[in-house]
Amino acid sequence: MSKSWDVSEISKWGWSKHPVGAVIPEPATTNRYVTGGWRSLRPILDLEKCVHCFICFIFCPDSSILVENEKMDGFKLEHCKGCGICAQVCPKNAIHMMNEAEALGLEQCLLPDDDKKDKKEDKSA
Amino acid sequence: MTKVAAMVGTDAIAEAMRQINPDVVPAYPITPQTSIVETYAQMVADKLVDTEMINVESEHSALSAAIGAAAAGSRVMTATSSQGLALMWEMLYIASGLRLPIVMTNVNRALSAPVNIHCDHSDSMGARDAGWIQLYSEDAQEAYDNIIQAVRIAEHPDVLLPVMVLMDGFIISHSLGRVELLEDQPVKNFVGTIQPPYSLLDTKNPPSFGAFDGLHGYYFEVKRAQAQGMLNASAVIKKVGTEFAGISGRSYDFFETYRLEDAEYAIIALGSAAGTARTAVDELREQGERVGLLKLRMFRPFPAQELVDALSHIKAAAVLDRSDTLAGSIGGPVFVELRSAFYEAEKKPRLYNFIYGLGGRELDINMMKQTVETIQTGMSDGVVQSSVAYLGVRE
């Protein structure tokens, strides 16, 4: 599987450089593309209730359920659009949806003071 | 050795499809195209082909399924007509934009309203800017030959565009005609196997088709590349038309001329009307009139320069259109484009447009001669008459 398609300069490409029919010629390129910025609700996991059944993993339309050592390990927020399907299908009510703005506010509070400014710039980019 | 058969146009298409043996045929029936897919479905049931035939719930779905199958790297064919083509509209642009070499027969038929099932070019002429190559057929033989060539044209790496093969509804689709059928093996060798640049079934390196063009916005560049495919198609169509003579003895070009070289007046037609025009030309020639015919086969891409070169010596020409742009007084699509092609030419004929045959209205030899008389009178009187006339409408 090649991972060689360099699109860093795509906005400068002439018409003959684009793949025929605007095909994206290699898989999993969405990994490099943040789509989570649309989110207005954020899933929050209660690890004490989670039984690691992976029903959320099966249903998540954006492959945003993280797994580590065969355990549910939270959400890939770069790609989670906040649809809430995971919270809906969870048999243990271990996931609830929080207002994204509120979640961002909490994040800011939890950060050490030095990181706060950088974090803000990231979000506005 | 070729086999000569008496065949209706739809059967000739189905026979060509059997010899091509496409991987997938998604189709929905609509008169007068129905018998193509009906005959083909029988061939599938009889295991004469390996095709996966998909019965869908509408023409929109037929072309959608064709697009999916083509993106998977299959050789895909389908057929439609009239309202069916209209219902495919959204998908026509997706097929050409994704550069999928689908081959589709469209049996030309009027668009409603009023409801009319007869021959008329309104359906395919409306799709002229959808990015499909369009090849018109005078008779069942040409329809058969065009379908076989269309596969090679569509799949050529310089082209990669869908091709629409046009055949006049009922006049060709349901009339028995003489067709020289090729043997299976030469057809199979001629079309070869499909070599798609990308395939959804390439599990080692699966591509994505039809993604959003992103906030970078490269739609314009992709369309420019698509326009290049259409530009490249001319040379490929010429080459394939010449190569086809190698297996059939019949060569094909953008258009065919008949007694045009020393003609003063010309008739320009596409589809079955060309046959009527040829007879009219012969009869007028017997009366000493210097009349010729230009039969347009390739409407997309439009062979503008070649048409100018072939017609510049003509005094006046009658351009026949079996559809109207309904744009006011500018005439039918063939006329509009031909007149535009001549704009920069130094030597040009006076062009008259005759819109005829809408909704299957009869076109006979006398009417065809009448067009020539009209342009001759127009030229000798020196009176510039209206350039656009409706031929055969009840006044």
Does the pLDDT of residue A120 top 70, yes or no? no
Q: Which long-range contacts (CB under 8 A, 24 or more apart) does B213-221 make?
A: B213/A22, B216/A10, B216/A11, B218/A10, B218/A11, B218/A13, B218/A18, B218/A22, B220/A15, B221/A13, B221/A14, B221/A15, B221/A17, B221/A18
* pLDDT of residue A122 exceeding 60: no
Q: What is the predicted pLDDT for the residue at A110?
A: 80
pLDDT of residue A11: 87
Contact A27 B205 (CB under 8 A): yes
Which residue ranges make up each domain of chain B?
A: 3-248, 255-391
Q: pLDDT at position B378, please?
A: 82
Q: How confident is the model at residue A38 (pLDDT cuts 50, 70, 90)?
A: confident
Residues of A in contact with B100 (CB under 8 A): 21
pLDDT band, very low/low/confident/very high, at A111 (cuts 50, 70, 90): confident
Q: pLDDT, tens digit, for every residue of B296-336?
A: 999 999 999 999 999 999 999 999 999 999 999 899 999 99
Instruction: State the average pLDDT over residues B373-387.
Output: 80
Pick from B303, B370, B316, B385: nearest CA to B347? B316
Give strand pairing partners of B166. Answer: B106, B136
Nearest CA in chain A to B209: A23
Question: Band of the pLDDT at A7, cuts 50, 70, 90?
Answer: confident
Query: Cβ contact (<8 Å) for B208 and A15?
Result: no
* B209:A20 CB<8 A: no
Q: How confident is the model at residue A125 (pLDDT cuts 50, 70, 90)?
A: very low
Flag whether pLDDT at A118 surpasses 90: no
Residue A14 lies in a domain: no
Model ipTM value: 0.88
Query: Within a domain: residue A123?
Result: no
pLDDT-based confidence at B150, cuts 50/70/90?
very high
Mean pLDDT for the stretch of residues B33-56:
97
User: What mean pLDDT is predicted for residues A97-107?
Assistant: 93
pLDDT confidence of residue B2: 80
Domain that holds residue A48: 35-112
One fold for B3-248 and B255-391: yes
pLDDT value of position A124? 43
Mutate to test the interface with B, among A7, A18, A20 (most CBs of B within 10 A): A20
| pLDDT for residue A100 | 95
Residue with the bigger pLDDT between A9 and B319: it is: B319
Q: Count of CB contacts below 8 A, A vs B? A: 64
Contact B221 A23 (CB under 8 A): no
Instruction: Provide the CATH number for the domain formed by B255-391 in this structure.
Output: 3.40.50.920
Contact B216 A15 (CB under 8 A): no
pLDDT tens-place string over residues B4-30: 999 999 999 999 999 999 999 999 999
Distance from CA of B192 to the nearest CA of A (A): 22
- Candidate from B98, B220, B221 with C-beta closest to A21: B98
B6 token code pair: 């008496």
Choose the closest CB to B207 out of A15, A17, A25.
A25
- pLDDT given for residue A31 in this prediction: 82
Which of the 8 DSSP states describes residue B187?
A: H
Fill in the amino acid letter for B181: L
Distances (CA, A) of B269 to A6, B191, B334: 50, 29, 9
Q: Where are the beta strands (DSSP E) in A28-121?
A: 41-45, 65-68, 71-75, 95-99
What is the pLDDT averaged over residues B97-107?
98
Considering the domain boundaries, does residue A25 fall inside one? Answer: no
B7: left (phi over 0), alpha (psi -120 to 50) or beta: beta
Task: Band the pLDDT of A3: cuts 50, 70, 90.
Answer: low
Chain B residues within 8 A of A22 when measuring between CB atoms: 97-98, 210-211, 213, 218, 222
Q: Which residues of B touch A23 (CB under 8 A)?
A: 98, 197-198, 207-209
Min Cα distance B99 → chain A (Å) is 5
Smallest Cα distance from A92 to chain B, Å: 36
Does the pLDDT of residue A4 top 80, yes or no?
Answer: no
A30 domain residue, yes or no: no
Q: What homologous superfamily does CATH list for B3-248?
A: Thiamin diphosphate (ThDP)-binding fold, Pyr/PP domains (3.40.50.970)
At residue B167, the pLDDT reads 98
Q: How far apart are CA A108 and CA A102, in angstroms?
A: 10
Q: A16, B228: Cβ pair inside 8 Å?
A: yes
Average pLDDT over residues B99-111: 98
Residues B240-250: pLDDT tens digits? 999 999 999 99
How far apart are the C-alpha atoms of B85 and A18, rounded to whole Å? 30
State the average pLDDT over residues A49-73: 96
Tell me which of B164-168, B362-366, B375-379 is least confident: B375-379
Determine the average pLDDT of the residues in B261-266.
97
CB B96 within 8 A of CB B298: no
d(CA B169, CA A17): 42
Residue A53 falls within a domain, yes or no? yes
Compare CB distances from B225 to A2, A15, A26 and report the shortest one's residue. A15
Average pLDDT over residues B347-366: 96
What's the confidence (pLDDT) of residue A1?
42
Q: How many independent structural domains does chain A possess?
A: 1
B228 CB neighbours in chain A (<8 A) are 15-16
In a domain? residue A51: yes
Mean pLDDT confidence for B53-62: 98
Q: What is the mean pLDDT of residues B355-376?
A: 96
Is residue A19 assigned to a domain? no
Which of B102, B208, B230 is the best substitution to test chain A (most A C-beta atoms within 10 A)?
A: B208
CATH number of the domain within which A68 lies: 3.30.70.20
- Give, rounded to a whole angstrom, the gap between the first and last alpha carbons of chain B: 52
| Cα of B243 to nearest chain A Cα, Å | 26
Residue B315: strand, helix, or coil: coil
